[in-house]
Amino acid sequence: MSPHPDSNSGSDPAIQLHHAQADLYLPQGGDAAAWLEKTTHLGVGAHQDDLEFMALHGILACLDRSDQWFGGVTCTNGAGSARQGHFADYTDEEMQGIRAEEQREAARLGQYSFMAQLAYPSSEIKDPTAADNLVNELRQLIERSSAKVIYTHNLADKHGTHIAVAAALIKAIRQLPPEQRPEQLIGCEVWRDLDWMPDDQKVVMDLGQDADFAAELNGIFKSQISGKRYDLAVEGRRRANATFFDSHSTDTCERVCFGMDLTPLITNEDLHPAQIPLSLISDFQKSVEQQIGSYFA
């Protein structure tokens, strides 16, 4: 592992990271093994900024706490991102460095216990025959943490790299003995929202009333939001979720994100991951058919 030159970059000799550019960053400084062990909430995302856009619930649950800590894992190296404006003429290598530093800055602001950037090319993650290294790294990080809740991409996401990361994570957790597995695995909204899911099957995550912290966190990723306003889109989705969740009552939350409960996949290894989203889609289809059918009997 070739850590970032910052003094807070750390290493744990028990964890072998595959790529030379991989970085284990400790925003609080100190010992990597100790901070991994303190981690109670973990986010595992594909790209720099995914954690902040999809796993804010976990970040807020740990903010300013000493008994709960959020740790982050970003799996890709940030290559190939769209760029314009100030970043239009940056090389791909330069953009990778900028995105990695933006992610470390977010980890500092969010008070993360650790921030691991595993630096995989997306093509490698999406190749099932080459993804074993990622599965192994995720397994090592999880088994050395105390994560009770893990946030990742939902299995109906339309971004191929997001699905590949979620698949690697599920495989990694399944390699662990039951006592080392998290209590809850949540698939979050990014490149497809979860408004379509039946309400009683959504994981509803209240993000509170204060949007200032989220705006500051999202605003760190200037290399991305200069070309696409992900920050505004994510915040709009959170507010829309809160308002459109229930048509027959006043808003009980101001900002909400929805999750897909993937926990059955880590308690029942015989359950194929596709069964979770396909079952939800089937329930959605039935509800639409029933509502329309009642008027055209």
- Pairing, β 184-188 against β 23-25: unpaired
Q: Which two tokens stand for residue 13?
A: 């000799």
Q: At what angle do helices 132-143 and 160-174 cross, to 10 degrees?
A: 60
Note the pLDDT tens digit of each residue in 120-137. Answer: 999 999 998 888 999 999
Domain annotation covers residue 155: yes
Q: How many structural domains is the chain composed of? A: 1
Domain annotation covers residue 1: no
Confidence of residue 3 (pLDDT cuts 50, 70, 90): very low
Note the pLDDT tens digit of each residue in 137-179. Answer: 999 999 999 999 999 999 999 999 999 999 999 999 999 999 9
Domain annotation covers residue 17: no
SS (HEC) of 85-152: HHHCCCCHHHHHHHHHHHHHHHHHHCCCCCEEEEEECHHHHCCCCCCHHHHHHHHHHHHCCCCCEEEE
**Residue 276 contacts residue 291 (beta carbons within 8 Å):** no
**Residue 134 contacts residue 140 (beta carbons within 8 Å):** no
Domain annotation covers residue 136: yes
Q: What is the mean pLDDT of the chain?
A: 91
Domain annotation covers residue 12: no
> What is the arithmetic mean of pLDDT over 54-78?
97
Q: State how far the Cα of 132 lies from the Cα of 127, in Å rounded to an integer.
A: 9
Note the pLDDT tens digit of each residue in 229-276. Answer: 999 999 999 999 999 988 666 677 899 999 999 999 999 999 999 999
Domain annotation covers residue 38: yes
**Residue 74 contacts residue 117 (beta carbons within 8 Å):** yes
Give the count of alpha carbons within 13 A of 58, CB side only. Answer: 32
Domain annotation covers residue 82: yes
Secondary structure of residue 185 in the 3-state scheme: strand
Amino acid (1-letter code) at residue 13 = P
What domain range includes position 115?
A: 23-293
**Residue 245 contacts residue 200 (beta carbons within 8 Å):** no
Report the pLDDT value the prediction gives residue 149, as an integer from 0 to 100.
Answer: 98
Containing 27, the helix (H) or strand (E) segment is: none
Its pTM stands at 0.93
Domain annotation covers residue 15: no
**Residue 276 contacts residue 265 (beta carbons within 8 Å):** yes
**Residue 108 contacts residue 27 (beta carbons within 8 Å):** yes
Closest CA to 133 of 22, 264, 263: 22
> What is the arithmetic mean of pLDDT over 75-94?
74
Q: Which two tokens stand for residue 145?
A: 């943490």
**Residue 245 contacts residue 199 (beta carbons within 8 Å):** yes
Note the pLDDT tens digit of each residue in 179-193. Answer: 999 999 999 999 999
3-state helix, strand, coil in the chain (%, to 5): 45, 15, 40
**Polymer length of the chain:** 297
Report the pLDDT value the prediction gives residue 15, as an integer from 0 to 100.
Answer: 75
CATH number reported for the structural domain that contains residue 179 in this entry? 3.40.50.10320
